Structure 1
Amino acid sequence: MAWALRLHGVGNASAVELGSAMATLERDGRPWLTIDCGGEGLTACLREYGEAPRALFITHTHLDHVAGFERLFVESYFDESRRGRVSLYVPAKLVPLLHQRVGDYPNPLAEGGANFWDAFQVIPVGDAFWHDGVRLEVFPTRHHWPDTSFGLRLRGSVVWTGDTRPIPEVLARVADDGELVAHDCALHGNPSHSGIEDLEHEYPRELLARCLLYHYASEEEGRQLEARGYRIGRPGERVELRATTSMQVGTGR
């Protein structure tokens, strides 16, 4: 199996020209699991694949990561082949927050008769979950408030941090198998997001060499991060990944 990461957007909430931070894990050239559902990110995803995601993992519920859900509801509810079959993996502690953000609106259809979540198969998850026969791992990150933001690991292939401050003690555990680490990073940090000097202070060189930086503020910031010797992600880029070492159904691992 060939694995890749398709970047739909790499910018922060203000960098609309870079797209909202969102990506899709591809397997054998096909979309397999999409991470988040931002507005600009969903537009890019639809343009890339010609259809809406059929499986998603949600990292947190800030609007630049979930603002595409109203469109995704429409895409899914009115298509009988999709209705109730779009797998939505949500860390259990985020379920009420996601509902407050996107699901708690009276009558998603003006004529009534539908609940927002009828369009999806909502699957609350803990430290790990199975998707399409492959085990993925979930870990907490440092963004705004405890237990409100999470990252995703496909063991041996990729770690997606989502929005976060540096988490060296966490990555020592969940990025210990040579994974590419897609990490929140701008030129300058703040109380909710990492800056490059934060990463340089907290992470060993070996880990920094495996980082793919996203969630920066502008194309100019991206160029400055590159000038410092770092790899940045770009909208629409397809990044080839190593084969996963995650447990898979039927492999005996």
Structure 2
Amino acid sequence: MSWALRFLGVGNAAAAPRLGSASAVIERDGRPLLMIDCGQEALDAYRRQYDALPDAVYITHVHMDHVGGLERLFFGTWFDPQRRGRVRLYVPAKVVPHLQARIADYPGVLAEGGANWWDAFQLIPVSRGFWHEGQWFGVFPVRHHLPDSAWGLRLRGSMVWTGDTRPIPEMLAEHAGAGEIVAHDCGLQGNPSHSGIEELEREYPPGLMARCVLYHYGSEGEAAALRQRGHRVAEPGELLVLAEPQPGEPAP
């Protein structure tokens, strides 16, 4: 069985029109298994790559460059009787109210009426993690704006996706301690919501930095500067081969 991570987009919100909104797809045996986040540009990239709409999406948080494609996914799902109510949205339980307020609560989701936004989807709130097609995916909170408003994703022994975050050494010590590749938010300069490269170099040991693949940067120039510092930087469309995840749900 083969596993891979495909970056659909690698840019921050300002760079999304050029670099794509930060998103990826976990592939198993060459098939898309799980989309991570669904910004507007990411949904376009998904359709170009797979000639289809996603059947399962994990949402890290509800900034629009990460969920702006969900409205189009609603329409593409609701009007297809074979998909309606079957597209899985895995959402951290503490993020569900934010998603409800930002997207799902608009009155009259269809001009003709008769539908709720959630009718198109199968909502699965998650806390420690979730099962999807026989595989356990762990989740954990990261540092992005308010506490518990953004969450990362882990395939034990295979990969970690931090989502948008400040440095999280304590979380990665627990959730990236089995040799995982770590797809990490990083630009040249940090801010109260995102990591800068000097912060990661200061906070993370060299062995962890060597496993990081950086995304969510601001330009091609930033990417070049990050590479000049000796770091691996993701590109739109790049496919990373992953180790096979360790099986089973970890003990609480």
Correspondence for 1:247? 248
1:105-150 deviation line (CA, Å, top 9, x unaligned): 1111101111111100000011111111111100000001101000
Partner of 1:178: 179
Q: Is the CA contact (8 Å cut-off) linking 1:9 and 1:235 kept in structure 2?
A: yes
CA-CA distance at 1:63 after TM superposition:
0.6
1:93 aligns to what SS in structure 2?
coil
1:181-196 to structure 2, matched below 5 A, reads 181-196=182-197
2:6 is matched with which residue?
Answer: 6
2:97 aligned residue? 96
Name the CA distance, whole Å, in 2 between partners of 1:218 and 1:237.
Answer: 16
Question: Which residue of structure 1 aligns with residue 162 of structure 2?
Answer: 161
1:145-176 Cα shifts (integer Å, max 9, x gaps): 10100000011110000000000011000001
Aligned residue in 2 for 1:118 = 119
Q: CA RMSD in A?
A: 0.8
Which one-letter code corresponds to 2:214 in the other structure? L
Q: State the SS of the aligned residue for 2:94.
A: helix
Q: Is the 8 A contact 1:154 1:246 kept in 2?
A: no
Q: Which residue of 2 aligns with 1:232?
A: 233
Separation in structure 2 between the aligned mates of residue 80 and residue 240 of structure 1, nearest angstrom: 35
Q: Distance in 2 between matches of 1:101 and 1:237?
A: 31
What does the per-residue CA deviation read over 1:26-78, in whole Å, with 9 as the maximum and x for residues that have no partner?
00000000000101111101110011110010000011100001100011111
User: Which residue identity is paired with 2:11?
Assistant: G
Identity %, equivalent residues: 62
Tell me the distance in 1 between the aligned counterparts of 2:61 and 2:128.
15
Deviations 1:175-214 (A, max 9, x none): 0110000000001111110000000010000000000000
Deviation digits for residues 9-29 of structure 1 (CA, Å, limit 9, x no counterpart): 000000020010000000000
Shift of residue 245, structure 1, vs aligned partner: 0.7
| Whole-angstrom distance in 2 between the partners of 1:32 and 1:195 | 30
Q: Normalising to structure 2: TM-score of the pair?
A: 0.97
Structure 1 length-normalised TM: 0.97
The answer as to whether partners of 1:184 and 1:216 remain within 8 angstroms in 2 is yes
Matched, 1:200 2:185: no
Deviation of 1:246 after TM superposition, in Å, equals 3.1
Equivalence for 1:49: 50
> How many residue pairs end up in the alignment?
248
Equivalent in the alignment of 1:251: none
Gaps of 5+ in 1: 249-253
Corresponding position of 1:21: 22
1:68 paired residue number? 69
Using the alignment, how far apart are the partners of 2:240 and 2:80 within structure 1?
31
Matched to 2:12, the amino acid is N
Query: What amino acid sits opposite 2:164 in the alignment?
Result: D
Contact 1:5/1:239, CA 8 A, preserved across alignment: yes
Cα distance in 2 between the residues matched to 1:76 and 1:246: 31
